[in-house]
């Protein structure tokens, strides 16, 4: 009896979901090993993690709060990757979006919340979008690789933000802390529930996922993005404006990451600082891959990643096992999904035919 | 011939894809030194059978047996590695070379451990010996990306022979070759067979099958329809087996040309070699088919690029219905009734992972026919696709099937359906029947002539002179980026065209031939 691989025609939805779930489970199993080494019991550790992520209204709201920027950066990566535009710069776009929100929302304009919030969001979206449109234009004009440009821009942006919050944008009342002037109350995103940190950014993320899902499946733009992503030459021949489509994708992708930044300043922190994001932009890449680039899947994957981080924090406080375990779980899930995607492309055949001599 | 030992034996091979049985109990034997031609309609299952033989697909039933030290031995199914080891070499319809490496590196790729410095000398000697024996002449040190299609194919064949192939499989090897290159290939194949190799080749060109093969195997609808010894076969007998009926030849009635619909006026195009044009004049009139002859690489792709809307002239003017075309915009051309067939259907013609319906609608997704206010009209797309599948006999599992699962010829039919169904006024038919079976070829010719009679202006680009003479009312010949008028096809002979293709002027060519 031998095992053989055969290219698969098309993997069904059930299989795709199954592979992602299995990948998560395998990752958890694998992480049990270092947990054992750290002297903990994996079952207790995971129990505490689940409790820490979902165990109470407070815990759950923290998870949702953590998932909010991840949904948006995850969508940012998913939509770009679908068009084979490799946006590794969601982190920088997030900061630029946050910067735009602070510039507009901290006193430049005086508007009632019903106008102020949308204005701040649009500004953040456009600013983030521009941060992705520029590398895309450079790619189209000069053939420079967008992976390199967007990745390096992240560092440029963070240094720029550091300079701003130490200098021109520094809050005189911050007692020396490097943080910007605060947003006006009118620009802040309302909380979803009293006394919990969850805010309306979550709704924005969910709506964005729904809109993207509709866009991919039902609209001409979604059709064109798929065609450009799958076969650029054929798309061009068929008259789809490849460069323009890529620019639209870049705007949407960068814009979504920018919205994540708006959510963090206007929904959580209230001011800009250079530690606004603990790498939400990079985690967005993982989220998008875990989700197989599906918009709805992105929401679920973002919840999973957020739960792992929030749960691990709380588990670490209770047991003393390092919360780096969270990074391990997330990294291993990504690896498992990549291995799993192999099973989506190939069918494993258990071959019973005996070899005739 | 049949006294020679059997090299390869397929026994009752059956392969199903869902509800479709692509191969149904097929058996065949291949002898030493034999050239076997595999024929059949588009979608008959030829490529599938070869993929099983080479281990790309796993058959549901049956065995592949290869002559080894201990007689005929069954190969483990689904293992290209085992097939290679047993001495089966395959040259695919689409080449599988690493474009950035030299020819020699490609030939050695996968045969040796990654870090094998210093063995290049031995490898080169072995390849050169094979070249000397087979006549497969090619520069081993050039980057594959810089080679012509014919040269790439030679590298593919060398790659197989380098691995000591006993059986060589070629899937539609001549579809992408110029007639001269094809003749060169056949010289090589005959020599290889004389040295004891067994060759299976797939082709839709009956002429070459009759000229080169020893035996012919015909598939129809996944089943073996019959086997013929080539010496006893003729076109009719083969066509009979393939389609179950004789294929009626298409008759061209005299044309009645009308207004000029598309014109190139003193057009030059600077581009990659093989694309450049200088001072080209061309007029396409309503109700007339112009045949463009030429050795491939002399500027055909430049002219096709202009009419496809992928390029605009560097100097000179292109006019459509009298108006100057200033921007490279395929969508505008499509909207104005220009039908364009891409030369490379897999690369430029379809998005493989999208459905048949998507690929039929792709040129017009933004038009009112397939979308409303930015939203796709899926129902209209599926309806058009269903009609196209029926009207053009596209063999597939339905409008939702992914285009990459279609057989080569059926992809071509899909593209024909996409562009011809709209009732275009100008048609660029670039290699319109490449890879089509004889029945489908006749059908396409009929449709092109019907479009002409309806008043369309047609430009046919083809490497097949028979095709050009069947369709064209008037000939132009391209050589080294310049276009020469060869006049009406009546009274024109092949010799004249051939000499013009080689660069002689019309007058001199006519005198000479
Ligand atoms: N992986 C697959 N999944 C589903 N259907 C397939 C697959 N591969 C091939 N088919 C179908 O099997 C049939 C036979 O295809 P095949 O490629 O063998 O045809 P062919 O004889 O080579 O035709 P052509 O002359 O057009 O190249 C076609 O209808 C094709 O759509
Ligand atoms: Mg085929």
pLDDT, one tens digit per residue, over B463-484 is 888 899 999 999 999 998 999 9
What is the predicted pLDDT for the residue at A1?
43
| Whole-number Å distance between alpha carbons of A247 and A84 | 12
Is this model's pTM higher than 0.80 or not?
Answer: yes
Cα(B223) to centroid of ligand 1, in Å?
A: 13
Pocket flag, ligand 1, residue B23 (CB < 6 Å): no
* Contact partners, residue B118, CB within 8 Å, separation at least 6: none
Ligand nearest to the CA of B40: 1
Return the number of CB contacts < 8 Å for A and B. Answer: 100
For residue A318, what pLDDT is reported?
Answer: 85
Average pLDDT over residues A238-248: 95
With cut-offs at 50, 70 and 90, classify the pLDDT of residue B2.
low
* A305-329 residue pLDDT tens: 999 999 988 888 888 888 888 888 8
pLDDT of residue A357: 31
Out of B78, B349, B354, name the one closest to residue A349 (CB): B78
What token pair was written down for A261?
């930044």
Most informative mutation of B16, B48, B92, B409 for ligand 1 (most atoms within 8 A of CB)? B48
B283 pairs with which residues across the strands? B263
* Alpha-carbon span B104 to B159, nearest angstrom: 9
User: What three-state secondary structure class fits A16?
Assistant: helix
- B241 neighbors B220 (Cβ within 8 angstroms): yes
Q: Which long-range contacts (CB under 8 A, 24 or more apart) does A347-350 make?
A: A347/A5, A347/A6, A347/A7, A347/A8, A348/A3, A348/A4, A348/A5, A349/A3, A349/A4, A349/A5, A349/A6, A349/B58, A349/B78, A350/A1, A350/A2, A350/A3
As a whole number of angstroms, the distance between CA B401 and CA B415 comes to 15
Averaged pLDDT for residues B81-107: 84
Q: How far is A239 from chain B (nearest CA, A)?
A: 4
Our CA-based measurement puts residue B57 at a distance from the nearest CA of chain A, in whole angstroms, of 6
Task: State which residue of chain B sits closest to A356, comparing Cα positions.
Answer: B74
| Count of C-beta atoms within a 10 Å radius of residue B145 | 11
Other Cβ atoms less than 10 A from the Cβ of A36: the count is 12
Ligand nearest to the CA of B414: 1
B458 and B451 in contact (C-beta within 8 Å)?
A: yes
Output A143-150 pairs: Cβ under 8 A, ≥24 positions apart.
A146/A85, A146/A86, A146/A87, A147/A86, A147/A88, A149/A89, A150/A86, A150/A87, A150/A88, A150/A89, A150/A92
Residue owning the nearest CA to atom 9 of ligand 1: B405
Cα B407 to middle of ligand 1, angstroms: 4
Positive or negative CA dihedral for B81, B83, B89, B91?
Answer: negative
- Of B367, B315, B311, B313, which Cα lies nearest the Cα of B340? B311
Compute CA distances B92 → B29, B56, B142, B243, B414, whole Å.
21, 11, 21, 25, 21
Fold identical between B6-243 and B250-337+424-513? Answer: yes
Least confident range of B119-123, B207-211, B227-231, B372-376: B119-123
Rounded to the nearest 10°, the torsion over CA B144, B148, B149, B155 is: -40
Torsions phi, psi for B25 (to 5 deg): 60, 50
H/E element, B247: none
Position A73 confidence tier, pLDDT thresholds 50, 70, 90: very high
Among B76, B362, B371, B430, which would you mutate to test the A interface (most chain A Cβ atoms within 10 Å of its Cβ)? B362
Spatial contact of B65 and B82, defined as CB atoms under 8 Å apart: no
pLDDT of residue A111 exceeding 60: yes
Say if ligand 1 is within 6 A of residue B198 CB. Answer: no
Sign of the Cα pseudo-torsion (B329, B334, B336, B339, in order): positive
B158 Cβ inside 6 Å of ligand 1: no
Give the pLDDT confidence of A13-52 residue by residue, as tens digits: 777 788 878 888 888 888 888 888 888 888 888 899 899 9
Percentage of chain B beyond pLDDT 70 is 96
Query: Among A149, A143, A140, which Cα is nearest to A247's?
Result: A140
Residue B271: the pLDDT is 76
Minimum CA–CA partner of A351 in chain B: B77
Q: Best interface-test mutation with A: which of B304, B345, B348 has the largest number of A CBs within 10 A?
A: B348
Residues 324-353 on A with a CB inside 8 Å of B are: 349, 351, 353
Contact B42, B436 (CB under 8 A): yes
The per-residue pLDDT of chain B, averaged, comes to 88
Interface test with B, best of A226, A236, A237 (most B CBs within 10 A): A237
For residue A324, the SS3 value is: coil
The domain locations on chain A are: 68-291
| Cβ pair B472, B291 in contact under 8 A | yes
In degrees to the nearest 10, what's the CA dihedral of B452, B453, B456, B462? 0
Which residues 72-131 of A have a C-beta within 8 angstroms of B? Answer: none
Atom of ligand 1 nearest to the CA of B44: 21
Long-range contacts of A321-327 (CB under 8 A, 24+ apart): A321/A35, A321/A38, A321/A39, A321/A40, A321/A45, A322/A38, A325/A31, A325/A34, A325/A35, A325/A45
Contacts of B56 in chain A (CB under 8 A): 7
Distance CA B194, CA B15 (A): 33
How far is the centre of ligand 1, averaged over its atoms, from the C-alpha of B7 (Å)?
26
Over residues B161-185, the mean pLDDT reads 85
Query: How many Cβ atoms sit within 10 Å of the Cβ of residue A10?
Result: 11
What does the longest C-alpha to C-alpha distance in chain A come to?
87
Instruction: Note the Cα A168 to chain centre separation in Å.
Output: 30
Answer whether B77 sits within 8 Å of A237, measured CB to CB: no
- Give the residue from chain B lying closest to A346, CA to CA: B57
Which residues lie below 8 Å from residue B209, measured CB to CB, with a gap of 6+?
B37, B39, B203, B216, B230, B238
- Tell me the domain boundaries of chain B: 6-243, 250-337+424-513, 344-422
Q: What one-character-per-residue DSSP string does B133-200 give? A: HH-----TTSBGGGS-HHHHHHHHHHHHHHTT-SEEEESSTTTTS-HHHHHHHHHHHHHHHHTT-EEE
Residue B350: list chain A partners with CB under 8 A.
231, 234
- Name which of B73, B76, B360, B365 to mutate to probe chain A: the one with the most chain A Cβ atoms within 10 A of its Cβ: B365
Closest CA to A201 of A99, A68, A112, A94: A68
Closest chain B residue to the Cα of A214, Cα to Cα: B375
CA angle B489, B465, B451 (to 5 degrees): 65
d(CA A357, nearest CA chain B) in Å? 5
Which backbone phi and psi does A338 adopt, to 5 degrees? -65, -40
The DSSP secondary-structure symbol of A310 reads H
Residue A120 has, within 13 A of its CA and on its CB side, a CA count of 36
Give me the CATH code for the B6-243 domain, please: 3.40.50.300
Task: Label residue A353 by pLDDT band (50, 70, 90).
Answer: very low
Task: Tell me: pLDDT of A265 over 50.
Answer: yes
Q: Tell me, in angstroms, the distance from the centre of ligand 1 to residue A166's CA.
A: 65
Rounded-to-integer distance, Cα B146 and Cα B155, Å = 12
At B88, list the tokens: 């089966």
Which ligand is in closest contact with the Cα of B408? Answer: 1
Q: Which fold has domain B250-337+424-513?
A: Rossmann fold (3.40.50)
What Cα–Cα distance (Å) separates residue B384 from each residue in B343, B374, B388?
A: 24, 19, 6
Cβ–Cβ below 8 Å for B362 and A6: no
* Cβ–Cβ gap A237/B349 under 8 Å: yes
> Ligand 1 within 6 A of B48 CB?
yes
User: At B118, is the pLDDT very low, low, confident or very high (cuts 50, 70, 90)?
Assistant: low
Distance of CA B52 from the midpoint of ligand 1 (Å) = 12
- pLDDT tier, B162 (very low <50, low <70, confident <90, very high otherwise): confident
Evaluate whether A82 touches B353 at the Cβ level (below 8 Å).
no
Give how far Cα A108 sits from Cα of A122, A163, A181, A184, Å: 15, 20, 12, 10
Under DSSP, is residue B339 helix (H, G, I), strand (E, B) or coil? strand
B167 alpha carbon – ligand 2 mean position (Å): 19
Specify the residue with its C-alpha closest to ligand 1, atom 19.
Answer: B43
ipTM value for the complex? 0.85
User: Pairing state of beta strands B474-479 and B288-293?
Assistant: parallel
The answer to whether the Cα torsion of B376, A220, A282, A90 is positive or negative is negative
Beta-carbon separation of A351 and B58 below 8 A: yes
Q: Give B201's strand partners.
A: B37, B170
pLDDT tops 70 at residue A4: no
Going from the Cα of B408 to the center of ligand 1, the distance in angstroms, rounded, reads 8
Q: Which residues pair with A349 in a beta bridge?
A: A4
**Contact criterion met (CB < 8 Å) for A219 and B374:** yes
Q: Collect all residues of chain A within an 8 Å Cβ-Cβ radius of residue B362.
A: 223, 227, 234-235, 238, 240
Contacts 24+ apart (CB under 8 A), A108-116: A110/A184, A110/A186, A111/A186, A112/A186, A113/A186, A113/A187, A113/A190, A116/A184, A116/A186, A116/A187
Does the C-beta of B40 come closer than 6 Å to ligand 1?
yes
- Out of A2, A4, A226, name the one closest to residue B354 (CB): A226
A5 CA: distance to closest CA in chain B (Å)? 7
Average pLDDT rounded to a whole number, residues A227-250: 95
pLDDT for position B463 = 85
Show contacts of A192-200: CB within 8 Å, 24+ apart: A193/A61, A196/A57, A196/A58, A196/A61, A196/A65, A197/A61, A197/A62, A197/A65, A197/A268, A198/A61, A198/A64, A198/A65, A198/A68, A199/A65, A199/A68, A199/A263, A199/A266, A199/A267, A199/A268, A200/A267
Strand partners for B40: B219
Collect residues with CB below 5 Å from ion ligand 2.
Answer: B 47, 407-408
**Cα B170 from chain centroid (whole Å):** 13
How far apart are the C-alpha atoms of B506 and B484, rounded to whole Å? 7
Kindly identify the ligand whose nearest atom is closest to the C-alpha of B43. 1
Region label for B62, one of left (φ > 0), alpha (ψ between -120 and 50) or beta (otherwise): left
Residue A355 has a pLDDT of 39
């Amino acid at each position: 009896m031998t095992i053989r691989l055969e290219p698969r025609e098309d993997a069904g939805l059930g299989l795709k979901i199954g592979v992602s779930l299995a990948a998560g489970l395998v990752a958890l199993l694998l992480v049990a090993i270092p947990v054992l080494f750290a002297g903990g019991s994996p079952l207790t550790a995971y129990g505490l993690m689940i409790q820490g992520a979902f165990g109470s209204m407070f815990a759950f709201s923290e998870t949702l709060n953590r998932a909010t920027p991840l949904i948006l950066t995850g969508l940012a990566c998913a939509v770009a990757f679908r068009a084979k535009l490799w946006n590794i710069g969601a982190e920088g776009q997030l900061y630029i979006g946050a910067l735009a929100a602070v510039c507009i929302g901290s006193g430049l304009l005086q508007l009632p919340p019903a106008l102020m919030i949308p204005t701040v969001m649009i500004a953040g979206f456009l600013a983030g979008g521009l941060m992705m449109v520029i590398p895309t234009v450079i790619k189209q004009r000069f053939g420079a690789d967008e992976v390199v440009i967007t990745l390096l821009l992240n560092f440029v942006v963070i240094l720029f933000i550091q300079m701003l919050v130490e200098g021109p944008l520094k809050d005189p009342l911050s007692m020396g802390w490097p943080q910007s002037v605060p947003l006006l109350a009118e620009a802040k995103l309302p909380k979803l529930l009293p006394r919990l940190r969850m805010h309306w950014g979550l709704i924005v993320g969910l709506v964005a996922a729904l809109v993207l899902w509709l866009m991919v499946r039902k609209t001409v733009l979604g059709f064109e993005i798929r065609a450009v992503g799958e076969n650029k030459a054929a798309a061009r021949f068929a008259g789809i404006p490849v460069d323009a489509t890529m620019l639209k994708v870049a705007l949407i992708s960068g814009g979504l990451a920018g919205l994540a930044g708006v959510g963090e300043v206007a929904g959580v922190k209230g001011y800009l600082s250079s530690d606004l994001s603990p790498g939400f932009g990079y985690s967005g890449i993982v989220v998008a891959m875990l989700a197989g680039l599906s918009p709805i899947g992105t929401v679920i994957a973002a919840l999973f990643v957020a739960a792992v981080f929030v749960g691990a924090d709380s588990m670490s406080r209770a047991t003393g096992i390092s919360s780096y375990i969270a990074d391990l779980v997330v990294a291993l899930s990504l690896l498992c999904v990549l291995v799993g995607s192999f099973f989506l492309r190939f069918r494993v055949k258990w071959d019973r035919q005996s070899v005739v001599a | 011939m049949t006294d020679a030992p059997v090299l390869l034996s397929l026994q009752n091979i059956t392969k199903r894809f869902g509800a479709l049985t692509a191969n149904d109990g097929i058996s065949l034997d291949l002898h030493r030194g034999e050239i076997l031609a595999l024929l059949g309609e588009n979608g008959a299952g030829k490529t599938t059978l070869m993929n099983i033989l080479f281990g790309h697909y796993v058959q549901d039933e049956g065995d592949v047996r290869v002559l080894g030290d201990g007689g005929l031995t069954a190969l483990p199914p689904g293992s290209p590695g085992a097939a290679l080891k047993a001495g089966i070499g395959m040259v695919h319809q689409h080449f599988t070379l690493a474009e950035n490496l030299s020819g020699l590196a490609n030939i050695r790729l996968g045969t040796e451990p990654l870090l094998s410095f210093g063995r290049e000398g031995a490898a080169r000697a072995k390849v050169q010996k094979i070249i000397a024996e087979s006549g497969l002449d090619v520069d081993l040190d050039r980057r594959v990306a810089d080679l012509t299609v014919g040269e790439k194919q030679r590298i593919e064949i060398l790659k197989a022979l380098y691995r000591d192939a006993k059986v060589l499989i070629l899937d539609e090897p001549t579809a992408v070759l110029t007639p001269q290159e094809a003749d060169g290939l056949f010289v090589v194949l005959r020599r290889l067979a004389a040295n004891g190799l067994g060759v299976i080749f797939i082709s839709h060109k009956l002429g070459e099958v009759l000229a080169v093969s020893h035996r012919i195997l015909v598939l129809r609808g996944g089943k073996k329809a019959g086997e013929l010894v080539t010496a006893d076969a003729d076109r009719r007998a083969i066509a009979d087996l393939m389609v179950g009926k004789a294929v009626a030849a298409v008759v061209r009635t005299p044309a009645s040309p009308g207004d000029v619909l598309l014109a190139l006026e003193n057009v030059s195009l600077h581009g990659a070699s093989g694309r450049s044009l200088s001072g080209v004049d061309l007029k396409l009139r309503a109700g007339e088919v112009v045949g463009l002859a030429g050795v491939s690489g002399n500027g055909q792709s430049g002219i096709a690029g202009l009419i496809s809307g992928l390029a605009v002239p560097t100097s000179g003017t292109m006019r459509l219905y009298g108006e100057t075309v200033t921007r490279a915009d395929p969508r505008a051309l499509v909207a104005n009734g220009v039908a364009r067939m891409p030369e490379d259907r897999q690369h430029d013609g379809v998005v493989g992972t999208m459905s048949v319906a998507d690929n039929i609608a792709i040129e017009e997704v933004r038009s009112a026919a397939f979308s409303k206010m930015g939203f796709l009209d899926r129902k209209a797309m599926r309806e058009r696709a269903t009609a196209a599948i029926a009207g053009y006999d596209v063999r597939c599992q339905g409008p939702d099937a992914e285009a990459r699962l279609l057989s080569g010829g059926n992809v071509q039919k899909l593209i024909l359906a996409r562009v011809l169904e709209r009732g275009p006024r100008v048609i660029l038919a670039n290699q319109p029947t490449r890879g089509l079976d004889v029945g489908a070829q006749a059908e396409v010719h009929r449709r092109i002539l019907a479009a002409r009679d309806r008043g369309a202006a047609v430009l046919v680009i083809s490497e097949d002179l028979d095709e050009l003479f069947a369709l064209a009312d008037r000939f132009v010949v391209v050589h080294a980026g310049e276009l020469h008028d060869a006049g009406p096809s009546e009274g024109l002979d092949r010799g004249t065209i051939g000499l013009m293709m080689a660069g002689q002027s019309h007058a001199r060519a006519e005198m000479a031939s």
